[in-house]
Amino acid sequence: EDTAPRIVEHPTDLLVSRGEPATLSCKAEGRPSPAVEWYKDGERVETDREDPRSHRTLLPGGSLFFLRILHGRRGKPDEGVYVCVARNYLGEATSRNASLEVAGE
C-alpha cells in the first residue's frame, strides 16, 4: 500500500575546503518512491539535471554531491543552509537543516 514520504537519513552540517568535493546526505522512503529536491536558504538548488554544466549532482538515493565547492571573492555560492524535501502524491517530508560552510577564508 502506498505511503507518504519520510526522511530516513538527514543531512548533517559540513565544513569543506574550497575546491574540495562534498556530499550532503539525504535518503527518503515512501511508495511510490518520492522525488527529492534540495533547497538552499529557501531557494531550490539546481543540479546537473536542469543544467548539464552544474557542479552539483543529485545522486540516485537523493543525496546532493558537489564536484567541488565553489567559493570566490565575489561570493560563496555553495555556502548556506540546506534541506532536502521528498515528495510523492501522498505528501512531502522535509529534512533537518544542514549548514555547509567553506573553511579557511
The fraction of the chain above a pLDDT of 90, given in percent, is 86
Please choose, from the candidates 42, 29, 45, 41, the residue with its C-alpha nearest in 3D space to the C-alpha of residue 86.
Answer: 29
Architecture of domain 3-102: Sandwich (2.60)
- Work out the pLDDT band at 74, boundaries 50, 70, 90: confident
In the predicted structure, residue 23 carries a pLDDT above the cut 80: yes
Domain ranges within the chain, ordered by starting residue: 3-102
Give CA separation, 100 vs 16, 58, 59, 89, in Å.
7, 16, 18, 30
Cis peptide bond upstream of 32, omega within 30: yes
Indicate the average pLDDT of the chain.
94
Q: Structure pTM?
A: 0.92
- CA–CA distance, 63 with 68 (Å, rounded to integer): 15
